[in-house]
């Protein structure tokens, strides 16, 4: 699961770099329903779920989703703690494509300090 900062503090050039990095990494993974699954959530003051873990099951499908991911959709504050809570409670579920027999990996991209750093510490310890 990739959690991407889409707050107003992220310069457009860095947003493009985030997308390119994720796209390149996904191209190197064996994405399918029985191997690697990828989800993407952007965050600022609110969330835009670009893709659940069971929504795109090919690297090219994920890369197409990323191409359509637009800059400035969720302007606001950097709310990384709430984004991690959103991922844990709503995206790492069987209904969203999570598999209970496979370890979860969450990669967080952020462009600074969250407005709720204490919440991040709590979610990272769980």
Domains of the chain, by residue range, sit at 2-125
> What's the whole-number mean pLDDT along residues 8-20?
87
> What's the whole-number mean pLDDT along residues 2-12?
84
Is it the case that residue 126 has pLDDT exceeding 60?
no
> What's the whole-number mean pLDDT along residues 36-50?
80
Grouping H, G, I as helix, E, B as strand and the rest as coil, residue 70 is coil
Nearest to 79 by CA among 68, 71, 87: 87
- Kindly report the CATH number that applies to the domain delimited by 2-125: 3.40.50.410
Q: What share of the chain is helix, strand, coil (3-state, %, to 5)?
A: 40, 15, 45
Task: Round to whole Å and give the CA distance between 27 and 62.
Answer: 9
Q: Which two tokens stand for residue 126?
A: 């769980």
């Amino acid at each position: 699961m990739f959690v991407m900062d889409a707050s107003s503090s992220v310069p457009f050039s860095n947003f493009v770099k985030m997308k390119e990095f994720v796209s390149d990494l996904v191209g190197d993974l064996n994405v399918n329903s029985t191997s690697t699954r990828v989800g993407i959530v952007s965050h600022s003051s609110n969330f835009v779920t670009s893709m659940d873990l069971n929504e795109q099951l090919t690297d090219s499908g994920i890369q197409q989703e990323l191409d359509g991911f637009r800059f400035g959709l969720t302007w606001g504050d950097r709310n990384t703690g709430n984004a991690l809570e959103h991922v844990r409670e709503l995206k790492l579920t069987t209904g969203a494509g999570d598999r209970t027999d496979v370890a979860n990996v969450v990669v967080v991209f952020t462009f600074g300090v969250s407005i709720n750093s204490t919440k991040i510490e709590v979610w990272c310890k769980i």
